[in-house]
Amino acid sequence: MADPPDPGGAATLPPPSTAAGGVPGVLPAQGGPTGRDEADGGGSCAGSRPGTAAVSLTDLPAGTRVTYRVVQRFRYTYDGDATDLVHRLVVVPPGRHGDQTVRDARLAVSSDAARTTWQRGADGTRIAAVRLDRVPARLDFDVSVTIDRVAGGARPWLRATALAGRRLLDATPLTAPDPALTAAARALATDDPVATARRFCGWVHSRIRYVPGSTDVATTAAQALAGGSGVCQDQAHVMLALCRAVGLPARYVSGHLVGDGPSHAWVEVVMNSGAAGRVPRTGTGGGAAAGADSWEPGAVAVAYDPCHDRLADLRYVTVAVGRDYSDVAPTSGWYTGEGRGTLTASQQVTVVEVQPVQ
């Protein structure tokens, strides 16, 4: 089966302004990387609205600033009583992630009785915890985030200890390698982390066909490889398993591609800054923006998308990073009651402004 719809290099600028219940219940996780949102297809919206101007996100001069708006709605409907809801949302990116900066973020809950608190996860993840004593028949979570990215800008920086720390090297239940994964990792690995990461990305792309509905959020990397199909979540988990099997630290990324469609997932491979400096910066002819290369020694995260077999570029918006999907699931929770909760979700990522290099 073909890859998921690809937004290609074009985005559009808008015209100028003139859980399955039970007792207790477990809320269904967002389809996200394993399913489809209401708006099917993650392709570009170029040409979809009259009066919009297409802009290529893969060929911008280094230093160009691009502003995005992410709009999401998660709607839960319940067919019976539900009480004592505890809901977890990972939908707002950290203030800064490499060249990405959050300008504004809003989370609205349709019930005035909802109590929302914010927590910070181990990898800088922003987690909203929403509590309700009594859940209405329909509950909406509306998210709006405005983000800037800089073409050829800095990649995410980590302390040098991340290269040997067990958090990004140890397998998780979703990424534990079986003999087949271990053998593949050893056969593909080289002494060069850049070459190894690129080989792993291409190998996963060739081995895991993109087939929506063929897996779910509990499918492991080994199961996805054995089945030969899955979605971007599974492709990311398989690549993580390969990396960790040969001692290459890596982390799962939850985020979006520009356009309408489901959430996306990819991988950040952590390497020393010298090695990362040999990886071309996509969409800028390989050039770096002023100040993109930090003088401070440490580790750098380089993003690879095994679903599309490429480096992640300005078409990608990062929401959260973690060890695997379970760390950064966009929406999840639990409640008490006989009612069953059903989720529908929609989202759109739009380029709202492109500021040329001054």
Instruction: Residue 162: count other Cβ atoms within 10 Å of its Cβ.
Output: 19
pLDDT for 248-268, tens place per residue?
Answer: 999 999 999 998 778 999 999
CATH code reported for the domain at 23-151+331-355: 2.60.40.2250
Question: What pLDDT score was predicted for residue 169?
Answer: 97
Question: What pLDDT score was predicted for residue 44?
Answer: 30
More confident site: 284 or 188: 188
Cβ–Cβ under 8 Å, residues 315 and 7: yes
Residues 6+ apart with CB under 8 A from 37: 31, 260, 261, 262, 263, 345, 346, 347
Question: What pLDDT score was predicted for residue 294?
Answer: 55
Q: Is 292 helix (H, G, I), strand (E, B) or coil?
A: coil
* pLDDT mean over 61-70: 93
What mean pLDDT, rounded, does the chain reach?
Answer: 85
Closest to 20 (Cα-Cα) out of 263, 345, 334, 329: 334
The distance from CA 86 to its chain's CA centroid, rounded to whole angstroms, is 23
Q: Which of 144-158, 285-299, 315-329 has the lowest average pLDDT?
A: 285-299
CA dihedral for 90, 148, 12, 201, sign (positive or negative): negative
Q: What is the pTM of this model?
A: 0.85
User: Quick one: fold of 157-328?
Assistant: C8orf32 fold (3.10.620)
Please provide the DSSP assignment of 20-66 as one string: --TTTEEPPPP-GGGS--SS------TTSSTT-EEEESSSPPTT-EE
Question: What pLDDT score was predicted for residue 7?
Answer: 46
Please provide the DSSP assignment of 204-267 as one string: HHHHSEE-TTS--TT--HHHHHHHTEE-HHHHHHHHHHHHHHTT--EEEEEEEESEES--EEEE
Residues 6+ apart with CB under 8 A from 117: 128, 129, 131
Q: Is 356 helix (H, G, I), strand (E, B) or coil?
A: coil
Q: Is the pLDDT of residue 13 over 80?
A: no
More confident site: 271 or 25: 271
Instruction: Classify residue 196 by burial, with Cβ atoms within 10 Å: 0-12, 13-18, 19+.
Output: buried
Question: What pLDDT score was predicted for residue 20?
Answer: 35
Closest to 132 (Cα-Cα) out of 84, 184, 79: 84
In the chain, helix, strand, coil percent, each to 5? 20, 35, 45
Question: What pLDDT score was predicted for residue 287?
Answer: 59
Question: What pLDDT score was predicted for residue 184?
Answer: 98
* pLDDT mean over 25-29: 53
Question: What pLDDT score was predicted for residue 29?
Answer: 55
Same fold, 23-151+331-355 and 157-328: no
What is the crossing angle of helices 179-188 and 193-207, to 10°?
130
* pLDDT mean over 180-188: 98
Q: Where are the domains of the chain?
A: 23-151+331-355, 157-328
* pLDDT mean over 316-340: 95
Q: Is the pLDDT of residue 97 over 50?
A: yes
C-alpha 108/C-alpha 144 separation (Å) is 9
pLDDT for 261-300, tens place per residue?
Answer: 789 999 999 999 889 888 887 655 555 555 555 556 789 9
pLDDT confidence of 6, banded at 50, 70, 90?
low
* pLDDT mean over 297-310: 94
pLDDT confidence of 10, banded at 50, 70, 90?
very low
More confident site: 16 or 278: 278
